[in-house]
Structure 1
Amino acid sequence: MKTSDGVRLEMELGIEPNEGERFPGVAVVCHPHPGFGGDMHNAVVRSMATAAWEEGYVPLLFNFRGTGRSEGTQSGGVNEPLDVDAAVTYARKLATDGRVLLMGYSFGAKMCTMWLNGGGKATAFVGVAVPSTTDYPDYSDVPSLYITGEFDDVAPLDDGLSRSLMTGGLHVVVEGSDHFFHR
């Protein structure tokens, strides 16, 4: 999978497709900040991929630029929306009707919102622990679900609620959890 600026990204699909095989829906799952050890093997990301699979979506996980076996250099969010775009573009080719569920955890959720705010389109968006530094959304036409830990100090409860109200999205609070969903 390659970005529009030529960076090859490491990716993993939840099922090995046969030549030309397509799926009813694909879920692109974006990982937390690579500068803090985040990658597509993160436990929360894997849980999100499992949840997508259980809802009938084939999960597509990838590493942002400069992470794992992905080429390029991490840019702290400047160029990573291009990575989201490459993943969604690839996912659309695999989905029979272009149905792509966009999911992100922490930094990954922020990159998803940046991509959506820049005009990207997805069937739906799930943001888990969306950092409070994230711009408020301008994608109210995309059904959205925000999941926040009750004691998250990176993505505070009040911010998640505000974001969900602005988009008409749903907001779920995981009681007793922090940003890492440790209980």
Structure 2
Amino acid sequence: MPEIIFPGPDGRIEGRYQKARADNAPIAMILHPHPQFGGTMNDKITYEMYHMFARRGFSVMRFNFRGVGKSEGEYDQGQGELSDAATALDYLQQMNPAAPFAWVAGFSFGAYVGMQLLMRRPEIVGFISISAAANLFDFSFLAPCPSSGVVIHGSEDKICPPSLTRDVMAKTRTQKGRRIEFDVIDGADHFFSKHEEQLLDKAAGYLDRRLQEPPEGHLFD
């Protein structure tokens, strides 16, 4: 799990990277919670999601958004962080030129950034979004959503009621053949305190099912 440092739009970016054994392995990127509320790439759920993808043969990266840890720059209301994520994906692709497709997973603020990223990058064929707060972030950019994915929410989320995010996702148009699933974990709060294992089981179950299906999207150019 080597540390990596690479050039970002606003200075260097700090990350962790694990390369798969196969040269043609898919790639995945994991995005952490809000930088202004203690979110880092070492957040427990971000860390566990990183290893979940690695165990399934992905080359995987997680990184600190600008202004977090050793990453340079300052918080930029999500727009700069989206640029960070796009640059990180470029770097991940450069290290894995034979990767056939990509996935993105994000937690809270990371889910918001990740779902914006997939709108811009057709190589992202799947996503896992955790605690996507539809009352804090505007998801109207999903018009239509080009990839299938799952949004996982806690029933006791006090930051954003699950019904609100469910309604937003239910009204979101998708491209033909794509589907956004919504899953609620009973008793879990926004941070899945004491429910991390259930969350990871849900995420892993969805990923395993999708990996058995024909992949969406196209090879990288």
Name the amino acid aligned to 2:62: L
Structure 1 residue 126, shift from structure 2 partner: 1.1
Residue 23 to residue 41, structure 1, CA distance change in 2 (3 Å): farther
The whole-number CA distance in structure 2 between the counterparts of 1:35 and 1:150 is: 24
Q: How many pairs were matched up?
A: 178
In structure 2, C-alpha distance between the alignment counterparts of 1:50 and 1:155, rounded to whole Å = 27
| 1:49-98 deviations in Å (ceiling 9; x for gaps) | 12222332222010000100001111131311001101111222215234
Cα deviation, 1:19-77, whole Å, max 9, x if unaligned, reads: xx835111100000111111000001012112222332222010000100001111131
| Identical amino acids, percent of aligned pairs | 26
- Separation of aligned partners in 2, 1:82 and 1:34: 15
The separation in 2 between residues aligned to 1:9 and 1:59, in whole angstroms, is 16
Q: Using the alignment, how far apart are the partners of 2:26 and 2:188 within structure 1?
A: 30
Q: Secondary structure at the match of 1:79?
A: helix
RMSD: 2.1
8 Å contact from structure 2 (residues 24, 100) kept in 1: no
Contact 1:129/1:154 (CA < 8 Å) preserved in 2? Answer: no
How far is the alpha carbon of 1:154 from its aligned partner? 2.3
What's the counterpart of residue 115 of structure 1?
117
Indicate whether 1:161 and 2:166 are aligned. Answer: yes
| Consecutive unaligned residues in structure 2, runs of 5 or more | 1-5, 195-221
Please name the residue that 1:99 is paired with.
Answer: 101
1:116 CA displacement: 3.3
Map of 2:15 onto structure 1: 11
Which ranges of structure 1 fall in alignment gaps of 5 or more residues? Answer: none
Conservation of the 8 A alpha-carbon contact between 1:148 and 1:173: yes
The whole-number CA distance in structure 1 between the counterparts of 2:116 and 2:59 is 23
Q: Which runs of 4+ in 1 moved over 4 A?
A: none
Structure-2 change in CA distance of 1:149 and 1:44 (3 Å): same
Write the distance in 1 (CA, Å) between the matches of 2:160 and 2:7: 30
The 1:68/1:25 distance shift into structure 2, 3 A limit, reads same
Q: In terms of mean alpha carbon deviation, does 138-147 or 162-171 score higher?
A: 162-171
Instruction: Check 1:66–1:139 CA distance in 2 against 1; reply closer, same or farther (3 A cut).
Output: farther
Question: Greater CA radius of gyration, 1 or 2?
Answer: 2
Show the 5 A alignment for 1:24-103.
24-93=25-94, 94=96, 96-103=98-105
Give, in angstroms, the shift of residue 6 of structure 1.
4.6
So what's the TM-score if we normalise by structure 2? 0.73
